[in-house]
Structure 1
Amino acid sequence: MLTATELRKAMIASAGEDESITLGEGFETTDFAELGFDSLALMETCSQLKRTHGVVIPDETLWDFVTPEELLRWVNDNISR
């Protein structure tokens, strides 16, 4: 099971040098756009999850996620670890 903490770490690692990205309390329910995550950052987050946790998220599914919570729910519903 992927935790919110693990997702936060992957997202921070994917943000690169953008210091405006903060993922504080309740980040899970905030839209990716409001968090400062564009499509490239979201793709990198998924790549990070694949490298660190073996999670493969299909590209066609990726674009359905609006919040980290939706991504986290999908991963935990579809990937057995």
Structure 2
Amino acid sequence: MSNSQFTLDDLKRILLEGAGAEEGALDGDILDTDFEKLGYESLALLETGGRVEREYGITLDDSALTDAATPRHLLAIVQSHLEGGGRSDLAA
């Protein structure tokens, strides 16, 4: 599937499919909340990255996934890849 946008709703869906979530963990304004506070450790983010790669046809560096501390940062990394930039080292 080739999509040109990766939204917060897309990220929430993939997080839930891959790693689940505690009740209400992904509700509200979570863009700048650390993944760790949301209950997602590095292994869950690597699984999320794999799902994003398969669904969106991009390749993400493992370090980019583990360095993305917040949903906003991960959204920016994925969007950069979708736009052809492919940079994994975007500043938080």
- What TM-score range do you get, normalising by the shorter chain? 0.7 to 0.9
Distance 1:54 1:65 in 2: 19
Q: Identity of paired residues, percent? A: 33
CA contact (8 A) 2:64 2:77 kept: no
The question of 1:29 aligning with 2:32 is answered yes
Aligned to 1:14: 18
State the 4+ residue runs in structure 1 displaced beyond 6 angstroms.
none
Give me the CA root mean square deviation: 1.8
Unpaired runs of at least 5, structure 1: none
- Letter of the structure 2 residue corresponding to residue 55 of structure 1: I
SS at match of 1:28: coil
Normalised TM-score (structure 2): 0.74
Query: As a proportion of its length, which structure holds more helix?
Result: 1
TM-score (norm: length of structure 1): 0.83
Q: Does 1:52 align with 2:62?
A: no
The number of aligned residues is: 79
